[in-house]
Amino acid sequence: MHQPESMPTRGPHTIPLETRRESLVARIADNQRYDLAIIGGGATGLGLALDAASRGYSVVVVEATDFAQGTSSRSTKLVHGGVRYLAQGNVSLVYEALHERTTLLNNAPHLAQPLAFVMPCYKFWEQSFYGVGLVLYDALAGRKSLGRTRFLNKTRTLQDLPNLNTRGLKGAIKYWDGQFDDARLALALGRTAAQHGALLLNYCEAVALTHADGSVSGLIVRDTETDQRYAIQASCVVNAAGVWVDALRDLDAQATQEKHSKIVAPSQGVHIVVDRDFLPGDHALIVPHTTDGRVLFAVPWLGKVIIGTTDTPRHDLSREPTPFKEELEFILRESARYLARAPQRDDIKSLWVGLRPLVKPPQDDSGNTKKISREHTILISKSKLVTVTGGKWTTYRAMAQDVLTQCIKANLLAQRASCLTENLPLVGAQSGEVISHQMSVAPSIAAYGDEATYLNTLPGTQRALGGGLTEAMVRFAVRHEYARTVEDVLARRSRLLFLDAALALSVADAVGQIIAEETGQSGNVAAFKKLAQHYLTLPAA
């Protein structure tokens, strides 16, 4: 197994691993044979990398763009058991997710915290109807409960949600789940995997699979910064490319002439972000049944409020999908039904779209994604390409465990140590210091957990750029978090693009300047400015 260049010293003054691109590319070029090669650096691929690397397998992960650039940075940011799956009678799915919720909160307390949800009731029957389910939800969590489900009268409801529409309000049910910073968690997973020896490379696309005797033997990757290609050999290749898994399954099938059908039915989810005064306090609002039967959330997150999401079938797989007019209208219309002072188009600070990799049951072409499975699917092709997709962020760890079990069963990996990730703190939570950091408040150095001590030694700690971002954070992102571009920093190391795209736009030049000092490259400021406009552009009214 390849050892990282310098293992960090443990304790409160941990020195993070460096992520200098030249040395990462040099390792890729090394032509080493890996136990496991993973295509895709989202929640699924990075979670798998951590599980495998911590068991002692040699692991390489290639990501075509940036880590978490796909769906994994565009979620509703909830660590949840999935109350609505309970309504569908899927108790085992909920039980597993509740277990995973606690594990995540324990292993990354700087990036994931409990959050109280308030479900307002406007009809008498709603409190008892939803109340039974939510009491059961809490009971399923057992000792892992984050707080008891409670019934609130109208006065208590308005204390928790002061901007709630009071007309016809009977009361509410309050229950607990969790919330997190999805992109930073993805990076923490990857960086922790790297501590265990995994090699991770972003801006490195898998362009072909290699086969020997009818079985996958590795892949060809392209460094998208230099266009240089490299061959990687691996005993086991896992396709964790999210909504894009079918493209790699196609490559595999072409080489082996195996017949196969597409398995992903993408579904688009749109979120808008508005100021906190639309949802003052520390409680999230959940509407379990909107006019068209969907769930709508308004969640306080990093000093703003996220409202969403939609669930619209989509057939193209754009990297930056555009919202449909009806989706924005739906979010604004439903918000206005529940918020006394409701956001208008002009109040939107950012709008972003993510694609759910929902798994299509064989022979289902109905296009109705709400009925499609949200559990993960693992497929092993005739040529032994392992594909994993579906599921949700909250259950990434259980998915990784399942994938490795299947790979071992199929003799693609030798049996090694059993899974260690249940009690494996991620970078930022490894010193044993007690960390409690509310995710609803504005971004700060608290997101770095125990790495804040080290961060404070970098140049530019006192130079605030805006939105909680400092010069030192940009340097940290480049030196230790694989950031290459202004977008990497402003979309996923800091979350400014998602929180306030105009503010992100205003700091882009300063971020580009610091990246240039660190890497000698421009950081692609112009491309970021164009992207930020995309997050500010609403579909025509």
Ligand X SMILES: Cc1cc2nc3c(=O)[nH]c(=O)nc-3n(C[C@H](O)[C@H](O)[C@H](O)COP(=O)(O)OP(=O)(O)OC[C@H]3O[C@@H](n4cnc5c(N)ncnc54)[C@H](O)[C@@H]3O)c2cc1C
Binding site for ligand X (CB under 6 A): 39-45, 62-65, 68-72, 74-78, 80, 205-206, 240-244, 248, 269, 309, 354-357, 389, 391-394
Instruction: Give the residue with the Cβ less far from ligand X, 45 or 467.
Output: 45
Q: What is the residue whose two structure tokens read 């439903």?
A: 334
Note whether 256 and 248 are within 8 A (CB).
no
Interacting residues of 346 by C-beta distance below 8 A, sequence separation 6+: none
Q: Do β-strands 171-180 and 304-308 pair in parallel, antiparallel, or remain unpaired? A: unpaired
Helix, strand or coil, per DSSP, at residue 320:
coil
CB of 78 vs ligand X, minimal distance in Å: 3
Q: Is residue 65 reached through a cis peptide bond, with omega within 30 degrees of 0 on the bond before it?
A: no
Instruction: Give the residue with the Cβ less far from ligand X, 222 or 475.
Output: 222
Tokens matching residue 196: 């265990």
CB of 112 vs ligand X, minimal distance in Å: 11
Across 413-485, where does the E strand assignment appear?
464-466, 469-470
Distance between CA atoms of 418 and 51, rounded to whole angstroms? 9
CB of 264 vs ligand X, minimal distance in Å: 10
Tokens matching residue 441: 């408040």
CB of 540 vs ligand X, minimal distance in Å: 22
CB of 335 vs ligand X, minimal distance in Å: 16
Distance between CA atoms of 149 and 208, rounded to whole angstroms? 51
Distance between CA atoms of 297 and 286, rounded to whole angstroms? 5
Instruction: Give the residue with the Cβ less far from ligand X, 301 or 528.
Output: 301
Instruction: Give the residue with the Cβ less far from ligand X, 35 or 246.
Output: 246
Q: Which string of DSSP letters, residue by residue, matches 363-388?
A: T--S--GGGSB-SEEEEE-TT-EEEE
CB of 405 vs ligand X, minimal distance in Å: 18
Instruction: Give the residue with the Cβ less far from ligand X, 185 or 507.
Output: 185
CB of 250 vs ligand X, minimal distance in Å: 11
Q: Give the chain's end-to-end CA distance (angstroms, integer).
A: 56
Instruction: Give the residue with the Cβ less far from ligand X, 115 or 465.
Output: 115
Note whether 450 and 12 are within 8 A (CB).
yes
Distance between CA atoms of 84 and 249, rounded to whole angstroms? 31
Give the DSSP H/E element, type plus range, for residue 210: strand 204-212
CB of 369 vs ligand X, minimal distance in Å: 11
Instruction: Give the residue with the Cβ less far from ligand X, 41 or 303.
Output: 41
Instruction: Give the residue with the Cβ less far from ligand X, 19 or 389.
Output: 389
